[in-house]
């Protein structure tokens, strides 16, 4: 069993940066594929990035490609999402999750997710 705790969300101005953290609690963290998803009010949940256990496969949605960077430190049971050049449309609840199939066709299916951390981008 694994649980996730996200942190790092905040309110920032457009063009700003944030780094979100996802700490995993549980067994076999180093073998888990981790995904980041976001949910904004009135919008569909969006699968934005994922990373496999060894970081060999990484995926980004077009909406964040070139601005967001996913990474992980298995020694700390933590995954990260570095977000640069933030836009108002990036405002959402961001959560990490246990997922699979990380690649160009990743749809964001997940079994376990955290409570999320709020990101608000406004002038």
CA neighbor of 79 nearest in space, from 117, 44, 119? 117
User: What pLDDT is recorded for position 76?
Assistant: 94
pLDDT class for 26, splitting at 50, 70, 90? Answer: confident
pLDDT class for 29, splitting at 50, 70, 90? Answer: confident
Q: How far is CA 89 from CA 3, 7, 35, 38, 67, in A?
A: 28, 20, 20, 11, 13
pLDDT class for 111, splitting at 50, 70, 90? Answer: confident
Instruction: Please tell me the distance from the alpha carbon of residue 14 to that of residue 91, in angstroms, as a whole number.
Output: 10
């Amino acid at each position: 069993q694994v649980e996730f705790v996200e942190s790092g969300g905040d309110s920032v101005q457009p063009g700003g940066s944030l780094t979100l953290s996802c700490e995993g609690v549980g067994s076999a963290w180093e073998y888990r594929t981790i995904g980041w998803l976001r949910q904004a009010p009135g919008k569909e949940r969006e699968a934005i990035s994922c990373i496999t256990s060894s970081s060999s496969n990484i995926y980004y949605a077009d909406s964040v490609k070139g601005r967001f960077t996913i990474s992980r430190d298995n020694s700390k049971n933590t995954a990260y999402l570095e977000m640069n050049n933030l836009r108002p449309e990036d405002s959402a609840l961001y959560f990490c999750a246990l997922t699979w199939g990380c690649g160009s066709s990743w749809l964001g299916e997940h079994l376990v997710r955290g409570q999320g951390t709020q990101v608000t981008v406004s002038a």
